[in-house]
Structure 1
Amino acid sequence: MEQKESIFTSLPNEKELLSWYRNQPEESKIVPDINGHIHTPHSFSAFSDIELAFQMAKTEGISVLGVNDFFTTAGYEEFAQLAEKFKVFPLFNIEFIALQQDLQQAGIRVNDPNNPGRTYFSGKGLRYPVQMSSESEAAIKKLQQNSNQQAYQMVEKLNAFFVENQIELHFDAAELHKKLAKELFRERHIAQAIRTTIFEKKNTQDGRKRLFEKIFSGKELKVPIGKMAMVENEIRSNLLKAGGPAFVKENPDEFLSLEQVMDIITDAGGIPCYPVLLDDAKGNFTDFEADKEKLLQTFREKDIWAIELIPGRNNFEILKDFVSFFHKNDFIVTFGTEHNTPQLDPLKVTCRGGVDLDDELKQINYEGAAIIAAHQYYIARGMMGWLNGEKARVTEKERFIELGKAVINRFLKN
């Protein structure tokens, strides 16, 4: 893979950097607003392009932004360039979907509430410029191909359904892929195409509603027709999910195991990180996450030393209790917003209902981002990062936090 210049090697050496940071006035060392997890158009995103994310970050006063696309690092170069342009510190992350077959067979839901054993899993602070083995590159490419093939099959089934029901709609999968997506052509792109085509085909609200009713086999659209994201979710539920006419079942043989995913992440220089679902709107937890003491033990056994949350999904009190517990146990904890639906919400991280993070949670998020920043700084120089083999360097946590804060602050002021 082609090597590009690292944006971290232009920073001073560690000794100089720490000396500079320690001499900064205390009033300049405020806790910044951080969003450690967004998706870009390289997977599926609310942002029309990566620059929009940085423009919003600048407007909202977000100082640290983390890219976290599914199955790809293709957005890293542009992300790095825009980070320098807008003076927003970048975190280079990635997301996978693994299958833990033992948990699937036992019917245990992990962090996908609908599919036992299916496990979303992130890598934090990957090496930039990107560098990984040819085996890891091939594995990621295969994941992309499998994901795209499933979406292409959905379009094929969708077209057959339209013909069968005398609905005058037809889509070309390759054309949609080229028009709406980059590396990954996903179910959400298909829903987007259906919605926009219906809106183009019918210019009245009644006409649109009637066409939706026809493609939903007689069921009325339940959500307000002007709510784009809600409409697309209903399209997915009626047509593309299990029970829908264009549903294509995932092949369990095409999933990587959690161990294989973690190997790719560490090979690419990253830190394995578990995305916590936590409580839903009714206060329910998945089987896997229900007992935090047991979860901690499982993570330690599997050498997982970092977690992330999307607080917008969670109750503030539940989130605070959970996060404080893992922070006290020396875990990296970071927060983000995902932005992997059509809904373009602010980048500022809040809990469910728009409840703000308190100072303690903001500090925990800053410490987590700082450790990842220090890790990125070290691995860009060919040095050991947060992991020594598979184990986190928890006894050096405070040193990593201080260095990471220095890295972030110097980058923002350069």
Structure 2
Amino acid sequence: NACRIAGIKPAFSIEAIAMDASSREEGKRFNDPNNAGRTYLVGKGVTRKLKNGSRAYNILEGMKKAIQERNRKMTELIEKYLKELGYNIPFSYKDVVYLTPHGNATERHVVQALCEKIENRYPNKEKRLEVYRKILRYELTPEEMDDVAELQTLVRAKLIKAEMPCYVEEDERAFTSIENLTYVYRNFGAIPTYPFLGNPITEGESDLEALIKRVKSYGLYAFDLFDFRTEYSRAKEIIEVAKSHGFPVFIGTEHNTKKMIPLVGELGKFDEFLGYFRKSAQFVIGHQILSKLCNYGYIKEDGKPRIDNLQEGFDFYAEIGKKEISEDEIDELSKRSFEDNKKYFGIGD
């Protein structure tokens, strides 16, 4: 509804973390600068739900369960830690889940729930500052405490990160293989996509030609850039390589903290990049349209692109995405067969 009001074509995506066992053994990092082998992956243009009980559904549920168990243990540790320090602040996993729409809690939800508990328990600012200083073993300033985003970042760093009092080791079950995660994304009807770290440039991302070859071997056929974390020169290198291989490049910003940063960064404002970013956005819209109306998404069930020539495929789906098709038209086309709609969009056998 928000996109409809703003006149923006919506696209839905998903992100999760996989583990590349061979890279972990080699000590080779990709888009996680602190953990060799751990790899963030994005599914662009989700077009359907997973079937309950399917292999893809079970993979995702297994990851979710491992993450939930860790967050639950973390919550229990925090409550115990607070009691040891003399603070009787009831804190349960229910407080954390309450903050989520569907129960998919993260570390950040744990921290947010704790901060809200402390604020409610200690409305006096001086007393609350004293509590935070003792809990965090850090001379928190009044300004840091008043900045919600900064406060939660500090609490996370000082309380639940590695070697901190309430740290819980991450469960390996939370990180499935790259093959499994790309399989899950395909079952969501999405395009498996590799998101660049941006800065620093890790050993796994330094050779872009080698990276293209590697991600294609895993069934990843697009790139994602994070604005604010990617410098102009690096973005230019990535886009040039992507162009030569028919890879779309998406651009976006990160909003998983309370920090109010702009939705649009500087990279997307450069004229030399804007055309490619726009075409890539049109591409994913085209993928969504043809998935819904023709069962003809960019990626086939076997993980290969629908059109062998990646540049031709990129061009084709982007052209579909450029079309101004009203919601009423889509509703009418939805009543027709896939075959009739393929003819409508000029898709041959």
Superposed displacement of residue 289, structure 1: 1.0
Distance 1:411 1:102 in 2: 47
1:176 paired to 2:96: yes
Residues 375 and 385, structure 1, Cα contact 8 Å, conserved in 2: yes
**In the alignment, which of 365, 390, 401 is matched to residue 303 of structure 2?**
390
Distance in 1 between residues matched to 2:28 and 2:125, nearest whole Å: 43
| Further displaced range: 160-169 or 147-156 | 160-169
Q: 2:336 aligns to what?
A: none
Q: With the length of structure 2 as denominator, give the TM-score of the two structures.
A: 0.84
Q: CA deviation at 1:412?
A: 8.4
Q: Which residue of 2 aligns with 1:399?
A: 316
Judged with a 3 Å threshold, the aligned counterparts in structure 2 of structure 1 residues 338 and 411 are, in CA distance, closer, same or farther, namely: farther
Q: For the structure 1 residues 384 and 410, does the alpha-carbon distance in structure 2 shift closer, same or farther, using more than 3 Å as the test?
A: closer
Percent of counterpart pairs with the same letter?
A: 25
Q: Are residues 179 and 322 of structure 1, via their aligned partners in 2, closer, same or farther at CA, if it must alter by over 3 Å?
A: closer
Equivalent of 2:63 in 139, 143, 147:
143
Please list, as runs of the form range in 1=range in 2, the aligned pairs for 1:1-400 lying within 5 A after superposition. 81-84=1-4, 86-128=6-48, 130-132=49-51, 134-217=54-137, 219-221=138-140, 224-279=144-199, 284-351=200-267, 357-388=269-300, 389-392=302-305, 393=307, 394=310, 395-400=312-317
Query: What's the counterpart of residue 65 of structure 1?
Result: none
Deviation (angstroms), 1:91: 0.8
TM-score by length of 1: 0.72
Displacement, 1:335? 0.9
- Greater percentage in strand: 1
Give the total of aligned pairs.
322
Displacement, 1:299? 1.9
Structure with higher RCO (Cα < 8 A, 6+ apart): 1
After TM superposition, the structure 1 stretch with the greater mean CA deviation from structure 2, 303-312 or 194-203, is: 194-203
Partner of 2:332: none
* Structure 2 counterpart SS, 1:224: helix
Compared CA separation, residues 151 and 131, structure 1 to 2 (3 A): closer
Gaps of 5+ in 1: 1-80
Q: CA deviation at 1:82?
A: 4.4
Q: Tell me the SS of whatever aligns to 2:29.
A: coil
Q: Structure 2 regions of 5+ residues with no counterpart?
A: 330-349
Whole-angstrom CA distance in 2 between matches of 1:311 and 1:183:
29
CA distance in 1, matches of 2:198, 2:29: 12
> What is the CA-CA distance between 1:323 and the residue it aligns to?
2.3
Q: Distance in 2 between matches of 1:248 and 1:210?
A: 26
**1:375 is matched by which residue type in structure 2?**
H
- Whether the aligned pair in 1 keeps the contact of 2:14 and 2:43 (CA below 8 Å) is yes
Amino acid paired to 1:404: G
SS in 1 for 2:281: helix
Shift of 1:232: 0.6
